[in-house]
Structure 1
Amino acid sequence: MSHPMSDEILTLPEVAQLLKVAEKTVYSMAQRGQLPAFKVGGQWRFKRVDLDAWIEEQKAAGRDDKQRGDV
């Protein structure tokens, strides 16, 4: 498998596979603005670098919750 380019654009099914969730979940999160996404011709697209940053933010938020005792 080749190394992805840093400006790689992912489709909704690819993001669902990456995050290990249902496509419907990714769609709902994109609709609500919970995932960094944009539309091309009416279809959701995701920049890999934006998703990587979002994942890091979620991990940091999880650590913050644990430190506050919210979990």
Structure 2
Amino acid sequence: MSERWLSVEEIAAYLGVSKDTIYAWISKKSMPARRIGRFWKFKADEIDEWVHSGGAAEKDGQGKAT
């Protein structure tokens, strides 16, 4: 049986971030997502690979305290 598609709410909870962060990552960081009608859907294994490859990482020098 194949893995089910996750919603924005579910993937945000899975990663521990807000829905707004998910939408920003889709547009700015090429987060792997599929548009199905008006909804975004995700596969957890694709998201895991994206995170492990540094897709969600801050750019050098950004977000660090000085």
TM over 0.5: yes
Structure 1 residues without counterparts, runs of 5 or longer: 66-70
Structure 2 residues without counterparts, runs of 5 or longer: none
Confirm whether residue 37 of structure 1 aligns to residue 48 of structure 2.
no
Structure 1 residue 47, shift from structure 2 partner: 1.0
- Normalised by the length of structure 2, the TM-score is 0.69
Structure 1 residue 8, shift from structure 2 partner: 2.4
Corresponding residue for 1:49?
45
- How many residue pairs match? The answer is 59
Per-residue CA deviations over 1:20-70 (Å, capped at 9, x if unaligned) read 1110110111123531001001111111111111122129x79xx8xxxxx
- Structure with the higher fraction of residues in strand conformation: 1
User: What stretches of structure 1 move > 2 A for 4+ residues in a row?
Assistant: 5-8, 31-34
RMSD: 2.7
Look up the equivalent residue of 1:32 and give its one-letter code: K
Give the structure with higher Rg (CA). Answer: 1
- Structure with the higher fraction of residues in helix conformation: 1
The share of aligned pairs that are identical, in percent, is 32
